[in-house]
Structure 1
Amino acid sequence: MKGARPALRYAKALLNLATDAGNETEVNNNMKLIADTIAESSELDAMLKSPVIKAADKRKVLTALFGDKVNNILKGLFNILEENKRMVMLEPIAKQYAVIYDYHKSMQVAKVTTAVPLNKELEQRILAKIVEITGNQANIENIVNPDIVGGFILRVGDVQYDASISNQFKELRREFDNSHYIPKI
């Protein structure tokens, strides 16, 4: 991915500043807001990536959009990105910050694949089970895949638990294929 290394450097610097100021969680929430907003708005994404629009104008748009919603550390980031003409890197920086923040706080990302979106109650039960099993907090990333028919696939770190119905069908098919049953008809 082009620009991943500089984005990681900016994210590390932001985390160090936020940790020194004691508000790394607030900065993380602000970075999630920025990443989600850019991901949801194709116009904002196109504006940030446009080489025709001046960096100062991009900063003005970001300040108008996020001015009262983000803290001073991120306003400083907008200024630095304007000076270095790297406004296009705002979304990758926000994503990298979330990754290193989770690592800093010893939080894991649990990927839960389901046939339908998770509701809040089920999400809380899964989080409690993850803490019980691993001893660490986790953030849930819900991936909806109707091909698994039902059940779920849970992946935390390098451990995967497949309780999907499609997997059970595959196991049943494998048992029938390996069966030595000879019909007596």
Structure 2
Amino acid sequence: MLTSKVAKRYAQGLLEFTTESGQTEAVFSEMKDVVKIMSESADLNKFFLTPYVDANKKTEIANEIFKNFSPVAQNLIRLIIKNGRESQLKNVAQQFINKVEDINGVQRITLTTATQLSNENIEQILRSTNLVNSSATFDLEVNVKPEILGGYILRVGDQQVDASVKAKLDKIKKDFQLN
């Protein structure tokens, strides 16, 4: 997913501020909560995207939802809403999380399979490729998409290994069309 420049800039500004004030870990945890809340609540997303609700009402609702957050996180959320960027709130939070994880050396790994796999199978897939640094910590996200038919798609950072049956069938189909 492409992330907007706006989200990257807000996240970078937040990172610089929290680094100077020593609040990076606390805000990191809160930004994970923002991503979780925004991912789970379609109604909240619709509310923030509604153009006829004014910024004051959106700020009031955000203050209630995020009332247990630190002043830094609350001020960021209010600033985003005040500037009319509430549609980017989740992206800003995710970009901040990504930046902090990059600093801490955490690898982001996405594994897509056709069916749910056991932990042993997941570990075997991760060990079978040289993309995964075994000594580094990683954040693993496992997705199940039956449309890949079998195999797996492993994405580590910006690199990807597509060992899915669908990809192999598409390659065979392309080869037949060329010949």
User: Which residue of the partner structure matches residue 61 of structure 1?
Assistant: 61
- Could you say which residue in structure 2 is the equivalent of 1:35? 35
Alpha-carbon distance in 2 for matches of 1:142, 1:109: 11
Query: How does the TM-score come out when normalised to structure 1?
Result: 0.71
For structure 1, which segment, 139-148 or 121-130, has the greater mean C-alpha deviation from structure 2 after superposition? 121-130
Q: 1:77 corresponds to which residue? A: 76
> What's 1:19 paired with?
19
Q: Percent identity?
A: 25
Larger Rg: 1
How far 1:31 moved relative to its partner? 1.4
Q: Assess, with a 3 A threshold, how the Cα gap between structure 1 residues 49 and 21 changes in structure 2: closer, same or farther.
A: same
The answer to whether 1:160 aligns with 2:161 is yes
Contact 1:123 1:140 in 2 (8 A): no
Residue 11 of structure 1 aligns with an amino acid whose one-letter code is A
- Residue 141 of structure 1 corresponds to 141
Residue in structure 1 matched with residue 93 of structure 2 by the alignment: 94
The DSSP-based 3-state class of the residue aligned with 1:136 is coil
Aligned residue type for 2:144: V
- Asked if 2 retains the 8 angstrom alpha-carbon contact of 1:115 and 1:149, the reply is yes
C-alpha separation in 1, matches of 2:67 and 2:104: 27
Partner deviation per Cα, 1:40-59 (whole Å, 9 max, x = no partner): 21211111111111111111
Give the structure 2 partner of residue 178 of structure 1. none
Shift in CA distance, 2/136, structure 1 to aligned 2, threshold 3 Å: closer
Counterpart AA for 1:98 = I
Shift of the 153–83 alpha-carbon distance from structure 1 to 2, 3 Å rule, reads: closer
Deviation by residue 1:97-127 (Cα, 9 ceiling, x = unmatched): 22222222222211112233456x5599479
Name structure 1 gaps, 5 residues minimum.
174-185
Residue 10 of structure 2 aligns with which residue? 10
In structure 2, the gaps of 5 or more residues are 173-179
Contact 1:118 1:142 in 2 (8 A): no
The normalised TM-score by structure 2 is: 0.73
AA aligned to 2:112 is: T
8 Å contact kept, 2:132–2:156: no
